[in-house]
Structure 1
Amino acid sequence: MAIAMNLAWSELTPELYDAARSRVGWEEDVPDGLVLHAAWFADDGFHALDIWESEDHFTRFIADRIAPVIKGELGVQSDPHVSISPLHRRFVVPGVTGGA
Protein backbone atom coordinates (compact mmCIF):
# COMPACT_ATOMS: atom_id res chain seq x y z
CA MET A 1 0.00 0.00 0.00
CA ALA A 2 1.31 3.44 -0.92
CA ILE A 3 2.18 5.76 1.96
CA ALA A 4 2.75 9.42 2.69
CA MET A 5 5.80 9.98 4.90
CA ASN A 6 6.14 13.26 6.79
CA LEU A 7 9.51 13.94 8.44
CA ALA A 8 10.79 16.75 10.66
CA TRP A 9 14.44 16.93 11.77
CA SER A 10 15.60 19.97 13.72
CA GLU A 11 19.33 19.06 13.61
CA LEU A 12 19.48 18.75 9.82
CA THR A 13 20.82 21.96 8.25
CA PRO A 14 20.77 22.87 4.55
CA GLU A 15 24.50 22.02 4.41
CA LEU A 16 23.97 18.57 5.94
CA TYR A 17 20.98 17.87 3.66
CA ASP A 18 22.96 18.86 0.55
CA ALA A 19 25.96 16.76 1.68
CA ALA A 20 23.69 13.75 2.23
CA ARG A 21 21.93 14.28 -1.11
CA SER A 22 25.28 14.41 -2.88
CA ARG A 23 26.73 11.34 -1.13
CA VAL A 24 23.60 9.17 -1.26
CA GLY A 25 22.74 10.27 -4.81
CA TRP A 26 19.01 9.54 -4.58
CA GLU A 27 18.25 11.84 -7.51
CA GLU A 28 20.67 9.98 -9.79
CA ASP A 29 20.05 6.48 -8.37
CA VAL A 30 16.40 6.69 -7.43
CA PRO A 31 15.45 4.41 -4.54
CA ASP A 32 13.16 1.53 -5.33
CA GLY A 33 9.61 2.52 -4.42
CA LEU A 34 10.09 6.29 -4.18
CA VAL A 35 7.38 8.23 -6.00
CA LEU A 36 7.95 11.82 -4.82
CA HIS A 37 10.26 13.75 -2.50
CA ALA A 38 9.72 17.36 -1.43
CA ALA A 39 12.00 19.07 1.10
CA TRP A 40 12.10 22.48 2.80
CA PHE A 41 13.52 24.32 5.78
CA ALA A 42 11.53 26.27 8.36
CA ASP A 43 12.41 27.98 11.62
CA ASP A 44 12.30 24.59 13.35
CA GLY A 45 14.62 22.84 10.87
CA PHE A 46 14.29 20.39 8.01
CA HIS A 47 11.00 18.97 6.72
CA ALA A 48 10.24 16.43 4.01
CA LEU A 49 7.17 14.90 2.47
CA ASP A 50 7.67 11.69 0.51
CA ILE A 51 5.30 9.37 -1.30
CA TRP A 52 6.47 5.73 -1.35
CA GLU A 53 4.97 2.60 -2.86
CA SER A 54 5.12 1.01 0.62
CA GLU A 55 6.46 1.55 4.11
CA ASP A 56 8.93 -1.30 3.51
CA HIS A 57 10.49 0.59 0.59
CA PHE A 58 10.97 3.65 2.81
CA THR A 59 12.39 1.61 5.71
CA ARG A 60 14.91 -0.17 3.48
CA PHE A 61 16.09 3.11 1.93
CA ILE A 62 16.66 4.66 5.34
CA ALA A 63 18.51 1.62 6.71
CA ASP A 64 20.60 0.87 3.62
CA ARG A 65 21.41 4.30 2.20
CA ILE A 66 20.47 7.22 4.45
CA ALA A 67 21.50 6.11 7.95
CA PRO A 68 25.07 5.12 7.00
CA VAL A 69 25.65 8.61 5.57
CA ILE A 70 23.66 10.83 7.95
CA LYS A 71 24.56 8.99 11.16
CA GLY A 72 27.90 7.54 10.08
CA GLU A 73 29.72 9.89 7.72
CA LEU A 74 28.05 13.16 8.73
CA GLY A 75 27.72 12.41 12.45
CA VAL A 76 24.15 13.58 13.02
CA GLN A 77 23.22 12.54 16.56
CA SER A 78 19.46 13.09 16.75
CA ASP A 79 16.66 11.16 15.12
CA PRO A 80 13.91 12.70 13.01
CA HIS A 81 10.25 12.74 13.90
CA VAL A 82 8.56 10.58 11.26
CA SER A 83 4.87 9.98 10.68
CA ILE A 84 3.54 7.58 8.08
CA SER A 85 -0.01 7.44 6.79
CA PRO A 86 -1.69 5.31 4.14
CA LEU A 87 -2.01 7.31 0.94
CA HIS A 88 -5.64 7.88 0.07
CA ARG A 89 -5.21 9.65 -3.26
CA ARG A 90 -2.46 10.93 -5.50
CA PHE A 91 -2.97 13.54 -8.21
CA VAL A 92 -0.17 14.76 -10.44
CA VAL A 93 -0.90 18.01 -12.23
CA PRO A 94 -0.66 17.51 -15.99
CA GLY A 95 2.61 18.86 -17.36
CA VAL A 96 4.50 18.71 -14.05
CA THR A 97 7.74 16.76 -14.38
CA GLY A 98 11.28 16.61 -13.04
CA GLY A 99 13.03 18.09 -10.06
CA ALA A 100 13.81 21.62 -9.07
Structure 2
Amino acid sequence: MAVVMSMHWPEITPELYDETLRRIRWEQEPPDGAQLHTAWFGADGFHVVDVWESQAKCEEFIGTRIGPVVKGELGVAGDPVVEFSPLHHRFVAPGVTGSGSGSG
Protein backbone atom coordinates (compact mmCIF):
# COMPACT_ATOMS: atom_id res chain seq x y z
CA MET A 1 0.00 0.00 0.00
CA ALA A 2 1.34 3.44 -0.94
CA VAL A 3 2.13 5.77 1.94
CA VAL A 4 2.68 9.47 2.51
CA MET A 5 5.79 10.25 4.51
CA SER A 6 6.04 13.63 6.18
CA MET A 7 9.28 14.79 7.75
CA HIS A 8 10.34 17.81 9.76
CA TRP A 9 14.04 18.25 10.46
CA PRO A 10 14.92 21.67 11.93
CA GLU A 11 18.70 21.13 11.77
CA ILE A 12 18.77 20.76 7.98
CA THR A 13 19.70 23.95 6.12
CA PRO A 14 19.27 24.57 2.40
CA GLU A 15 23.03 23.99 2.01
CA LEU A 16 22.89 20.65 3.85
CA TYR A 17 19.87 19.55 1.80
CA ASP A 18 21.56 20.44 -1.50
CA GLU A 19 24.77 18.68 -0.47
CA THR A 20 22.81 15.62 0.61
CA LEU A 21 21.01 15.50 -2.76
CA ARG A 22 24.35 15.76 -4.54
CA ARG A 23 25.85 12.90 -2.53
CA ILE A 24 22.91 10.48 -2.56
CA ARG A 25 22.10 11.19 -6.22
CA TRP A 26 18.33 11.03 -5.59
CA GLU A 27 17.39 12.16 -9.10
CA GLN A 28 20.18 10.34 -10.96
CA GLU A 29 19.62 7.07 -9.04
CA PRO A 30 15.99 7.18 -7.85
CA PRO A 31 15.32 5.10 -4.76
CA ASP A 32 13.33 1.93 -5.19
CA GLY A 33 9.71 2.62 -4.28
CA ALA A 34 9.85 6.43 -4.36
CA GLN A 35 6.96 8.02 -6.24
CA LEU A 36 7.03 11.73 -5.33
CA HIS A 37 9.32 14.05 -3.36
CA THR A 38 8.61 17.61 -2.26
CA ALA A 39 10.80 19.69 0.05
CA TRP A 40 10.70 23.21 1.46
CA PHE A 41 12.04 25.41 4.23
CA GLY A 42 9.75 27.21 6.66
CA ALA A 43 10.37 29.39 9.68
CA ASP A 44 10.68 26.19 11.72
CA GLY A 45 13.14 24.44 9.42
CA PHE A 46 13.16 21.77 6.74
CA HIS A 47 10.04 19.87 5.64
CA VAL A 48 9.43 16.98 3.25
CA VAL A 49 6.31 15.26 1.95
CA ASP A 50 6.95 12.13 -0.11
CA VAL A 51 4.82 9.37 -1.58
CA TRP A 52 6.34 5.91 -1.40
CA GLU A 53 5.29 2.46 -2.58
CA SER A 54 5.53 1.33 1.05
CA GLN A 55 6.79 2.45 4.44
CA ALA A 56 9.43 -0.28 4.34
CA LYS A 57 10.92 1.07 1.08
CA CYS A 58 11.14 4.58 2.54
CA GLU A 59 12.71 3.37 5.77
CA GLU A 60 15.24 1.33 3.81
CA PHE A 61 16.21 4.41 1.78
CA ILE A 62 16.55 6.56 4.89
CA GLY A 63 18.63 3.90 6.61
CA THR A 64 20.94 3.01 3.74
CA ARG A 65 21.33 6.25 1.79
CA ILE A 66 20.18 9.31 3.74
CA GLY A 67 21.31 8.38 7.24
CA PRO A 68 24.91 7.52 6.37
CA VAL A 69 25.32 10.85 4.54
CA VAL A 70 23.42 13.23 6.82
CA LYS A 71 24.28 11.67 10.17
CA GLY A 72 27.65 10.22 9.18
CA GLU A 73 29.42 12.26 6.49
CA LEU A 74 27.77 15.62 7.24
CA GLY A 75 27.58 15.15 11.02
CA VAL A 76 24.03 16.35 11.68
CA ALA A 77 23.29 15.61 15.34
CA GLY A 78 19.51 15.99 15.47
CA ASP A 79 16.92 13.52 14.27
CA PRO A 80 13.91 14.19 12.08
CA VAL A 81 10.29 13.77 13.10
CA VAL A 82 8.86 11.31 10.57
CA GLU A 83 5.23 10.27 10.16
CA PHE A 84 3.66 7.77 7.78
CA SER A 85 0.04 7.71 6.66
CA PRO A 86 -1.74 5.51 4.11
CA LEU A 87 -2.19 7.31 0.79
CA HIS A 88 -5.87 7.89 0.18
CA HIS A 89 -5.73 9.65 -3.19
CA ARG A 90 -3.13 11.01 -5.59
CA PHE A 91 -3.65 13.40 -8.50
CA VAL A 92 -0.95 14.59 -10.87
CA ALA A 93 -1.94 17.56 -12.99
CA PRO A 94 -1.80 16.97 -16.74
CA GLY A 95 1.55 17.97 -18.19
CA VAL A 96 3.43 17.75 -14.88
CA THR A 97 6.46 15.49 -15.22
CA GLY A 98 10.01 15.23 -13.96
CA SER A 99 11.59 17.38 -11.30
CA GLY A 100 11.40 21.06 -10.67
CA SER A 101 12.88 23.56 -8.31
CA GLY A 102 11.52 26.80 -7.03
CA SER A 103 15.07 28.10 -6.77
CA GLY A 104 16.41 27.45 -10.20
Which TM-score band applies after superposition, normalised by the shorter structure? over 0.9
Residues 73-92 of structure 1 mapped to structure 2, 5 A cutoff: 73-92=73-92
- TM-score by length of structure 1 reads 0.98
C-alpha displacement at 1:98, in angstroms? 1.0
The number of aligned residues is 100
SS at match of 2:64: helix
Once residues 67 and 81 of structure 2 are traced to their aligned partners in structure 1, the CA distance between those partners, rounded to angstroms, is 14
SS at match of 1:29: coil
**Paired residue for 1:27?**
27
Identity of aligned residues (%): 57
Residues 15-94 of structure 1 mapped to structure 2, 5 A cutoff: 15-94=15-94
- TM-score by length of structure 2 reads 0.95
Structure 1 segments, 4+ long, off by >3 Å, are: none
Once residues 44 and 8 of structure 2 are traced to their aligned partners in structure 1, the CA distance between those partners, rounded to angstroms, is 8
**Paired residue for 1:96?**
96
Structure 2 unmatched ranges of 5 or more: none
Structure 1 unmatched ranges of 5 or more: none
Once residues 63 and 7 of structure 1 are traced to their aligned partners in structure 2, the CA distance between those partners, rounded to angstroms, is 14
